Chains A and B, each alone.
Chain A
Amino acid sequence: MNEKIVIVPCSGIGKTYGTVSREAAYEVIEELRPESAQLVPLSMLVLGEENARAAVAASPAITIDGCKLACATKMVQESGGTIAQDFAVLDVFRRNRKLKPQGIAELNEGGQQLAHALAEEVAAVVDKLNGKVETGDEKLRSSAPCF
């Protein structure tokens, strides 16, 4: 695949779960899968920025929503993109209850660990989209409908 998988996190500023979504996205594109994933800011899609719209049109998107409003998912759909998988931070927290996120500008340890857990789930989806699924270690754990 030539195009990098698009990741669109929540843009909620001042919201803990929004911060978790962005920290997870940063970890995927900067550390876990820098060669195969790229971040498209939700705000750019909202503004109709040409490059952002072109990116979601060219490649499947993974969205990470901070709350039930699901702005990231809705905006990718409105921009003509294809959702490969939508993550909700709340669902990831439900699967990792001991990782209670707190903080906004700076997450507490639980929030950082939750962001890491989420990043690993997103990275596993990136791998699957690229045909590089790692089998045997149950990396793809999301309960959301996939592909």
Chain B
Amino acid sequence: MAEFLEYTLDKFTFKVATDRFYNPEGVWAKAEGNQVTVGVSDFFQQRNGDVAFAEVKDVGTAVAANDEFATIETIKVDVELPCPVSGTIAAVNEKLELEAEVINQDPYGEGWLAVIAAANWAADQANLMTPEVYFEHMKVQAQEEAENL
């Protein structure tokens, strides 16, 4: 499978990384064992604009799937992010404190938000979207967004 699925609408191209899972809000989860790295999708970052501030709950905080675990303040909106996985926050990307723009620059890489020590990744994964499903979901969101402009 290709590294990314790509969808172009007007002058925008949105990429969906194919090596992870997604919730409907555009938060991705990529597991290595029970350590699940989470971040936001390319569509999320393009839709919401340049990130001014990103704040993730402290390391050690217990989170449940769909609970808010981070907030992102962009030039357009303030967004509360639902966690795609249950567990305990094991690490937070320290770059976000001074270089929150890394979320825009590299949403699937250096712009990761946190690592969650998952309580039951298999169960959470079953509730998330595959890249293919999220790709179709994102296309609909992008089209709706374009129609509302």
Report A131 CB to chain B, min CB distance, Å. 32
Question: Judging by beta carbons under 8 Å apart, are B50 and A97 in contact?
Answer: no
Question: When the two chains form their complex, are residues B53 and A67 in contact, meaning their CB atoms are under 8 A apart?
Answer: no
Q: Does A93 contact B (CB under 8 A)?
A: yes
Q: List 15 A-B contacts (CB under 8 A).
A: A16-B75, A17-B75, A67-B50, A67-B75, A68-B50, A68-B101, A90-B50, A90-B75, A90-B101, A93-B52, A93-B75, A94-B52, A94-B53, A97-B52, A97-B53
Can you add 16 more A-B contacts, CB < 8 Å, to A67-B49, A67-B50, A67-B75? A16-B75, A17-B75, A68-B50, A68-B101, A68-B104, A90-B50, A90-B52, A90-B75, A90-B101, A93-B52, A93-B75, A94-B52, A94-B53, A94-B100, A97-B52, A97-B53
Interface residues on B, range: under 10
Majority SS of interface residues in chain B? loop
Q: Give, as a whole number of angstroms, the nearest-CB distance from A45 to chain B.
A: 22
A66 CB → nearest B CB, Å: 9
> Which residues of chain A have a CB within 8 Å of any CB of chain B?
16-17, 67-68, 90, 93-94, 97
9 closest A-B pairs by CB: A90-B50, A17-B75, A93-B52, A94-B52, A68-B50, A90-B52, A67-B50, A90-B75, A97-B53
* CA A90 to CA B51, docked complex, whole Å: 9
Complex CA distance for A11 and B10, rounded to whole angstroms: 21
Closest to A89 in B: B75
Q: How long is the Cα–Cα vector from A68 to B45 in the complex, in angstroms?
A: 13
How many Å lie between the Cα of A16 and that of B49 in the bound state? 12
